[in-house]
Structure 1
Amino acid sequence: MSFQKTVLIFEPDASGHHPGYLYHLLKHFLNEKYDFRLAVLVNPDFFEKHPSIIQKTSAENIEWISTSETTFNDWKNSKSDVIKRAKLEWAICAEYAKNLQAVHILMMYFDHLQLACLTEQKPSCPVSGILFRPTLVNYPVNSIKEKISFWRKYLLLKAILHRKSLSTLFCLDPFAVDFIQQNWKSNKVKFLPDPVQVYPNTKSIDSLKEKLGITESKKVFLIFGHLDDRKGISTVMDTFMNLSEDEAKNVCLLIVGPWDEQEKLRFEQKLTLLQQKNSVQVIVHNHFVADEEIQSFFEVSDYILALYQKHIGMSAIMVRAASAQKPLITYHYGLMGKITAEKQLGLLINETIKDDFLRQIKTLLNSSNLQIGNQQNMKEFAELNQAKNYAKVILDSF
C-alpha cells in the first residue's frame, strides 16, 4: 500500500506514562486500516529504554525517527525552564513537519506548550495535542497564588483555542471539555479516555495471597505505582498507627512498586514506628511490575488507596481499581474526587477535616458487609477507558 499522507507524532519524554500512551496509540493504528502513515519522533533515549515498543510497532506505515544527540542535550538542559523547553519543542516539531511534508502534528503532551502555540511561528500544518491537566473546574482556588495560577491558565487556554494552527485538543478531563464547549462555544476540544490496558489475571486470589504472604482474613489496602510520598504513604502509615490493636490485626498494607533509596529510607523509619504501635501487617513488593502482572495486585486487595496530595488530573489507578471491582479510597479534591463521587467508584476522604481518613478506615474495619461503590458503574468506567477507545478518538480525528 502506498501512503500519501504523513502524520507526525512527537513524544520527547521517555519516562513515566509517556511510553505507554504512545504504545497504545501505535498498537491500535496497526490493528486498523488508516490511509496515512505515522512518523514517530522521539529522543535517542527512547530507543535505549524502550526497544520492545519499537520492535512491536515496526511496520511499513510507521517510521521511527530520533532527534540528534545535540538536540536531545538541548532538550534535557531546558527541562527546568518551561518556556525555553516549550519554544525548543515547538521549533523541533515545526522543522521535522516541514522536512517530512507532514499534513498534521500530534504533540503527545501539550500542557506546557500552550504559550508556544500562542507566540511561536505557525508550523506548516495543523497541530493537535493532548491536554492532561486543565484546572477549569473542580479545583478550589483559595490563596492569592492559586488565583493567579488559575486565571493565567484560564486566559491562556481560552486564547489558544482561537489559533487557526490548533486543530484539536484532546482532554482527559470530561468536565473541562463540557465547560469549554458550553461556555466558550469551541468545538476544538474532545474528551479523551485515559488508556489502560488491563490484562486478565490467570491466578487464583488464594494462591496470590499465599505467594505474597498475606495473612488469612485480613483486609488488604493497596498502594501501587512509583513510590514516593506524593502517593500519601506517610499519611497512611500515620493513620494506621492510630488503629486499636483489634483493628490493626485485621489490616494488611500492601505496597507495590519501585522507589528510590531516599524514599525507601523514609518509609523504613516510619515502618519501625508503626510496628512498635500495633500489629498492622505491611508487605512491600519493591520491584517494577510488568503490565501483564499489574492487575493481580488489584484483585488480591480489598481497597485501593490513591491519596495523592492535591493531585491534578487523572490516574490509571482509578481505572485499574474499577476494572478489578475494588473500591478506590481517594481525596474529594479535583478530577479524581469528582469522578469517584459521580461514578460511585469508592470512598472519598475530606482532607480539610482532621482525622477523616482515620474515621472512615475505622468504619470499614468495624462494619460487616459494608458495600462501597457501584460495581456496574465501575465496570462501565473501566470499559470507557480501554486503550483502544483512547487511540480511536485520536486517530479518527486526522
Structure 2
Amino acid sequence: MNHTDHLLIFEPEMAGHQPLYIRLLYHYLLENKPTLKVTFVVHPDINKRLVKEDGIKLQTVGNKINLVFLNETEISASLHNTLWIRAVNRWRLMKKYLKTTGANHGHFLYFDHIQFPLALRLPFLPEKKISGLLFQPPMLDFYGDEKNLKEVIRNYRKKWFYTLMLNNTALSFVYTLNPLFPSYARKHFTNGNKAYHLPDPSMFPTGDINLSDEDCALTKHVGENRKLFLLFGALTKRKGIFEVMEALKHLEPEYISQIAVVFAGKLEAGIRSTFLDKVDFYKQNNPNANLHVEDRFLSTNEIISLLQYCDIVLAPYHRYFVGSSGVLLWAVGAKKPVLTSNYGLLGYQVQKYHLGISIDTTKPKLIADAFRRYLNNPDDYERNTSGMERLHAESLPENFARIFFSKFL
C-alpha cells in the first residue's frame, strides 16, 4: 500500500450514518493528533445536523484538518436519482478534489455505488489511490432463508462487478461493516485480500446520561398501560414502514389498545405524503389506535429517551437490505429487544447474539403475529443481556475511528 500523508474523505450525504461517522473521525483526529493530514469534502449543511443532534461543529484546524463544502450543483450531481450517473458524478468529483487539495488518497464513506466506475475502468489519476466503505457487499451463500431468482441474479451481478472492481489497480482497499465479508472475499475473489472489516459504531453512550424534559417530550405520546413499539432513524421505504402499517391492520382491537407505535425520524421525501395519508386513514378508522410520526432529525438525547422508554425496537428492513444496521446497535446499547428481518447480517446477528426475534419482514401478517406474540408473552422474544453487551463492546465508537485510520498511518 502506498504511503498516505494527505487523506481526502468524500461524503455528500446529509441523511444516514455518514455524517455521524465523520463526527467520530473528526474527534479522533482532534484527540490523537496523528501526522496524517485529512481533508473532509462534505455537504455544506452537515454542521446544521451535527449541531442540532449533538451540539458539535466541524471546522478547519491548523494545517492538519481541512473542511471543504460541496456547492449546490455538486450536491445535486452526487445525489442523482439514477444510480450509475450518481456513481460517475461522485467519481468525477473525487478526481477534482484530489487535484485541488493535493491529497494523495481519496476515501468514499459510501462506496457501494463506486463499483460501477471501477469495474468499467473509467480513467483515474495514476499517482492517486482510492478506498471506500462498503455497506452491502455481495454474498451468494449469505445467511437467511432460500433466495428467490431475483435475489440470486442480483447477487451474481454484484459478484461480477466486484470482481472487476477489486482487480482495478486504482483501488487500494475496501472496508466493510459486514464482519463476514472479508473471509468470503478472500475465498471468492482474486483480490479479495483488499477487503477489511470495520465495526459499525454504536452511538449509544456509556456511563450516566442526563436527559432534560425536552429530551423526553416524545415519550408523552405514549399513553398509560401501552407498550411502545419504536421505529426510528431515516424513515425510508426499505425500513419497512409501510409493512408495519399493513401489519397493524391485521391486529384485533384488544391488541391495538395495548400498544403505541412511534415512527421517529426524517421521512423520505418521495414517500412522505403517501405514508402520512396511510397513518391518518388508519387512525380515523381505529380511534383506539395510538400512532405518532415525528418527521424530523432527532437529537441523540431524544433517541436515548425513546429507547429507554420503549419495549421493542422495530427494524423490519426489506430483504434486499443485507448490511449493518445502526438501529440494531442503538437497541443493543439500550438493551432492548428488536423485531427485524431473518435475512442477511441482521438475521445473523439477532440469532448469534440473541437480540430479539427475526422473521420474514416482507409479510405484514407475520409482523402482526410477532406483535401478538410479544403482547401475549414478552419472554418469547429471546434477549440475552450478555450477548448484547458483547456486540456493544465490539461496536464501540473508538474502535471504528482507530481501525479506520490504521490503514493510512
TM-score range normalised by the length of the shorter chain = 0.7 to 0.9
2:159 maps to which of 145, 154, 173: 154
Distance 2:222 2:43 in 1: 42
Distance 1:73 1:281 in 2: 38
Alpha-carbon spacing, 1:100–1:380, altered in 2? closer, same or farther (3 Å): same
Structure 2 matches for 1:9-24, cutoff 5 A? Answer: 9-24=9-24
Alpha-carbon spacing, 1:85–1:231, altered in 2? closer, same or farther (3 Å): closer
Alignment-mate amino acid for residue 124 of structure 2:
K
Distance 1:23 1:48 in 2: 13
SS where residue 234 of structure 2 aligns? coil
Structure 2 matches for 1:1-398, cutoff 5 A? Answer: 5-44=5-44, 46=46, 55-60=57-62, 61-67=64-70, 71-72=74-75, 74-75=77-78, 79-118=80-119, 119-123=121-125, 124-136=127-139, 137-138=142-143, 141-143=147-149, 145-184=150-189, 186-199=192-205, 201-203=209-211, 212-259=220-267, 260-275=272-287, 279-310=288-319, 311-351=321-361, 355-367=365-377, 369-370=379-380, 372-398=382-408
Alignment-mate amino acid for residue 13 of structure 2:
D
How far residue 42 of structure 1 moved from its aligned partner, in angstroms, is 2.8
Distance 1:189 1:15 in 2: 25
SS where residue 314 of structure 1 aligns? coil
How far residue 326 of structure 1 moved from its aligned partner, in angstroms, is 0.6
Alpha carbons 2:107, 2:132 under 8 Å: kept: yes
Gaps of 5+ in 2: none
SS where residue 16 of structure 1 aligns? coil
Alpha carbons 2:182, 2:193 under 8 Å: kept: no
Cα shift readout 1:336-355 (whole Å, capped 9, x = no counterpart): 12221222111012347783
Alignment-mate amino acid for residue 127 of structure 1:
I
Q: Percent identity?
A: 26
Larger deviation, residues 302-311 vs 192-201? 192-201
Distance 1:324 1:10 in 2: 31
Distance 2:99 2:363 in 1: 55
Distance 2:369 2:350 in 1: 19
SS where residue 295 of structure 1 aligns? helix
Distance 1:75 1:290 in 2: 26
Alignment-mate amino acid for residue 130 of structure 1:
L
Alpha carbons 1:6, 1:101 under 8 Å: kept: yes
Cα shift readout 1:227-266 (whole Å, capped 9, x = no counterpart): 3554333433443344444433332223323433442122
SS where residue 39 of structure 1 aligns? strand
Alpha carbons 2:374, 2:381 under 8 Å: kept: no
Distance 2:221 2:97 in 1: 53
Distance 1:157 1:209 in 2: 46
Cα shift readout 1:62-118 (whole Å, capped 9, x = no counterpart): 111234555455545xx1333333233223222332343323211111111112123
How far residue 296 of structure 1 moved from its aligned partner, in angstroms, is 1.2
Alpha-carbon spacing, 1:11–1:283, altered in 2? closer, same or farther (3 Å): closer
SS where residue 161 of structure 1 aligns? helix
Cα shift readout 1:143-172 (whole Å, capped 9, x = no counterpart): 2x4333222210111222222221110001
* Bigger-Rg structure (1/2): 1
TM normalised by structure 1 equals: 0.86
How far residue 393 of structure 1 moved from its aligned partner, in angstroms, is 1.4
Distance 1:211 1:352 in 2: 28
SS where residue 280 of structure 2 aligns? helix
Alpha-carbon spacing, 1:265–1:30, altered in 2? closer, same or farther (3 Å): same
Alpha carbons 2:133, 2:176 under 8 Å: kept: yes
TM normalised by structure 2 equals: 0.84
Distance 1:214 1:233 in 2: 19
Cα shift readout 1:5-60 (whole Å, capped 9, x = no counterpart): 21111112333333222222212221113111101223555577667888444312
Alignment-mate amino acid for residue 59 of structure 1:
V
Alignment-mate amino acid for residue 132 of structure 1:
F
